[in-house]
């Protein structure tokens, strides 16, 4: 249906902490704004899209040509990770041209690659040197106005030195979706530093899924997932639980009860 025409970049901010550029454009009756942000110390470049979508039965996607073709790609799913070749070899692989990504996808080569971080489930298509991220569509059924109006979406582009696990891609995706906000506490609410306990986190292949009180209200329960095709050690939890700590199996999800002293 044609490409979206964007104007010249506009410099919004430039300082030691942040650089921001903005492009504005239009497609049909829709208006589109894209801001590219690079923050100091951030492992990824952030793309912020603001779209006033008015199209019907048309798909808006973010397409890009890769500098080097990908050999395979990996993406997170609900409770796991899938990997597929970037160049389909069979009819079955060609039929799976589109993947529903929960929070990240990694385009992998012999050495390194590129990770795409998203702030919500998106459909992504990768083949050789082409990347396409589906953003909006103008469906009219069952809700005639499902995609109409203003939308804001965020993506991150993160270069990789190694595989997705060694580059901590899941942690970067969590940072994009749920950034950590810090603020000072009033003096009356500040904990005693001598009694404050913090979790060490030496195992980068383990992902925190949940931390909540148990039914008795006196203990807490920590839920972890081993997000890698290898076993994970839980020795770092010895100070915080009385439970038996067997290694996590690949992709295993386990809840560990914490002791009363935590």
Q: Is the pLDDT of residue 261 over 70?
A: no
**Residues near 21 by beta carbon (within 8 Å), at least 6 away in sequence:** 9, 10, 11, 12, 35, 36
Q: What's 235's DSSP letter? A: G
In this prediction, residues 231-238 reach a mean pLDDT of: 88
In this prediction, residues 235-240 reach a mean pLDDT of: 85
Structure-token match 């070749």, residue found: 85
The number of beta carbons lying within 10 Å of the beta carbon of residue 182 is: 4
**Confidence (pLDDT) at 27:** 87
What is the C-alpha to C-alpha distance for residues 12 and 23, in angstroms, rounded to an integer?
A: 10
pLDDT band for position 238 (cuts 50, 70, 90)? confident
**Domains of the chain listed by start with CATH number:** 5-88+96-177 (2.70.98.30), 194-257 (no CATH)
pLDDT > 70 in the chain, percent: 91
Q: Is the pLDDT of residue 88 over 90?
A: no
From 205, 113, 133, 124, select the one nearest 168 (Cα to Cα). 205
**Confidence (pLDDT) at 206:** 86
Structure-token match 């993947």, residue found: 99
Average pLDDT, rounded, for the chain: 87
For 150: left if phi > 0, alpha if psi spans -120 to 50, otherwise beta; the answer is beta
What is the C-alpha to C-alpha distance for residues 117 and 162, in angstroms, rounded to an integer?
A: 16
pLDDT, one tens digit per residue, over 166-184 is: 898 998 998 898 877 767 7
pLDDT, one tens digit per residue, over 38-47 is: 999 999 999 9
From 112, 47, 115, 110, select the one nearest 75 (Cα to Cα). 115
In this prediction, residues 2-19 reach a mean pLDDT of: 90
Q: Where are the beta strands (DSSP E) in the chain?
A: 5-6, 10-14, 18-27, 30-39, 45-53, 59-65, 72-77, 80-85, 99-101, 104-108, 113-118, 122-127, 130-137, 149-160, 206-213, 220-226, 253-257
H/E stretch holding 81 reads strand 80-85
**Confidence (pLDDT) at 200:** 62
What is the C-alpha to C-alpha distance for residues 164 and 69, in angstroms, rounded to an integer?
A: 17
pLDDT band for position 135 (cuts 50, 70, 90)? very high
The number of beta carbons lying within 10 Å of the beta carbon of residue 161 is: 9
In this prediction, residues 76-89 reach a mean pLDDT of: 86
Beta bridge partners of 34: 23, 49
pLDDT > 90 in the chain, percent: 42
């Amino acid at each position: 249906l044609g490409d979206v025409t964007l104007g010249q970049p506009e410099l919004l901010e430039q300082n030691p902490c942040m650089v921001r550029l903005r492009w504005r454009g239009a497609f049909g009756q829709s208006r589109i704004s894209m801001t590219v942000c690079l923050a100091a110390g951030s492992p990824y470049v952030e793309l912020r899209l603001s779209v006033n979508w008015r199209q019907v039965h048309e798909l808006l996607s973010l397409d890009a040509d890769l500098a080097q073709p990908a050999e395979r790609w990996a993406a997170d799913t609900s409770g796991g990770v899938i990997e597929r070749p970037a160049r389909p070899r069979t009819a079955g692989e060609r039929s799976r041209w589109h993947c529903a990504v929960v929070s990240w996808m990694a385009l992998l080569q012999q050495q390194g690659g590129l990770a795409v971080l998203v702030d919500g489930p998106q459909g992504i298509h990768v083949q050789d040197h082409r990347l396409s991220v589906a953003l909006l569509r103008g469906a009219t059924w069952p809700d005639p106005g499902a995609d109409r109006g203003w939308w804001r979406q965020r993506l991150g582009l993160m270069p990789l030195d190694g595989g997705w696990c060694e580059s901590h891609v899941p942690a970067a995706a969590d940072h994009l979706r749920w950034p950590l906000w810090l603020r000072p506490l009033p003096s009356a609410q500040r904990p005693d530093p001598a009694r404050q306990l913090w979790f060490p986190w030496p195992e980068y292949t383990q992902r925190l899924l949940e931390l909540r009180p148990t039914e008795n209200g006196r203990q807490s329960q920590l839920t972890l997932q081993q997000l890698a095709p290898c076993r994970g050690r839980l020795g770092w939890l010895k100070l915080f639980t009385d439970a038996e700590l067997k290694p996590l199996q690949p992709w295993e999800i386990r809840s560990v009860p914490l002791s009363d002293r935590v």
